[in-house]
Structure 1
Amino acid sequence: MSSEKIFEYDLDIVGVTDYGAKMEAIFTGQENVPLQGAQFDVTLAGSIKGRVAGSLRGIDYLRVRADGRRELDLRGTIETDDGSRIAFSADGVGTPREGEPIVDLAVKIHLLTAAADYAWVNARPAWGAGYANVATGKIHIDAFLH
């Protein structure tokens, strides 16, 4: 099966809403994840480059389970360089690297638009892999159609 890289994106964490547990304290190991887990609404913004190019803004409704698993649930909007909008959603998991401020990410990406030039994004999901650097608040994903 062949694959085509359709875009990559680089996002910055621009805000965090927490619900009783501090994300930074948990991610730096200063606090343990509560037994019931924790949720953080992480606001993200940045650029997207490739066959789809422009900017991406959204919120990741991030859940951290008591066992440390990070469950991603991202919803956002792509504004393409030529003025089109594409609805963006992604779900996946994050796996922290031992002894590093890096979380490896694996995501399934769904795109939806009625813009004729981008109708091809509606056909099937994309699969992405990348990382989040907790120390810098930067996220990078490469996305492929298979």
Structure 2
Amino acid sequence: MSTIEVGEHLYTIKLNLTGMTEYGVSFSDLTSGSISPPAEGARFDAAFEGQATGAKLNGTVSGVDYMRVRGDGRMELHIHETITTTDGKNIDAQGDGVGIPRPEGEILDIRVNMTLFTSLEDYKWVNPLQVWGIGVVNLAEGTIEVSCHAA
């Protein structure tokens, strides 16, 4: 693999939300604005799956975002996912980020900071990378799209 340049696009993920574990607060009530976040915040586990496509990395993606919504409404993301490449190899991806609800509701702007890891020789080039992602969550459709770049 050639040298990865800062800012270089690595891949884009397109995901579908596949499940939501709630811990005392309804996610749909919270994100629709029918209730406010409790003072102590709220916790959710958002399962997802989909595809990664790009010039540098392609495959399927599955994982969970262990999300916390603070009392002020800011969403803190704690992401654990597996990228399974088109040749069947697994890459671990972990990161954190924020979700910022748009005023019109149902849409979140997200920013993520990810690290990737594998011991597989053909994919070790991912290990030193810091990956920054910018994307959008459409809660009405249950979709997520993030463009991921080398930092």
TM-score category by the smaller chain? over 0.9
Q: Which position in structure 1 is the counterpart of 2:18? A: 14
Structure 1 residues not aligned, in runs of 5+? none
Q: Does residue 78 of the first structure (1) align with residue 83 of the second (2)?
A: yes
Q: After TM superposition, give the deviation of residue 118 of structure 1 in Å.
A: 1.0
1:52 paired with 2:68, answer: no
Q: 2:28 aligns with which of 13, 24, 44?
A: 24
Using structure 2 for the length normalisation, give the TM-score: 0.94
Q: Name the structure 2 match of 1:134.
A: 139
1:10-63 Cα distance to aligned partner (Å, 9 max, x none): 111100000000000000011111111000000010000011111010000000
Q: Deviations over 1:67-125 (max 9, x none)?
A: 00000001011110011100011200011111131100000011000111111100121
Determine the structure 2 residue equivalent to 1:110.
115
1:63 match: 68
**Is 1:125 equivalent to 2:130 in the alignment?**
yes
The equivalent residue for 2:37 is 33
Aligned counterparts of 2:70 and 2:6: Cα–Cα separation in 1: 35
Separation of aligned partners in 2, 1:119 and 1:144: 17
> 4+ residue runs of structure 1 moved beyond 6 angstroms?
none
C-alpha contact (below 8 Å) 2:31/2:105 kept by paired residues:
no
1:98 correspondence with 2:109: no
Q: SS of the counterpart of 1:143?
A: strand
SS of 1:123 mapped into structure 2:
coil
Aligned-pair RMSD on alpha carbons? 1.1
Unaligned runs of 5+ in 2: none
TM-score, normalised by the number of residues in structure 1: 0.97
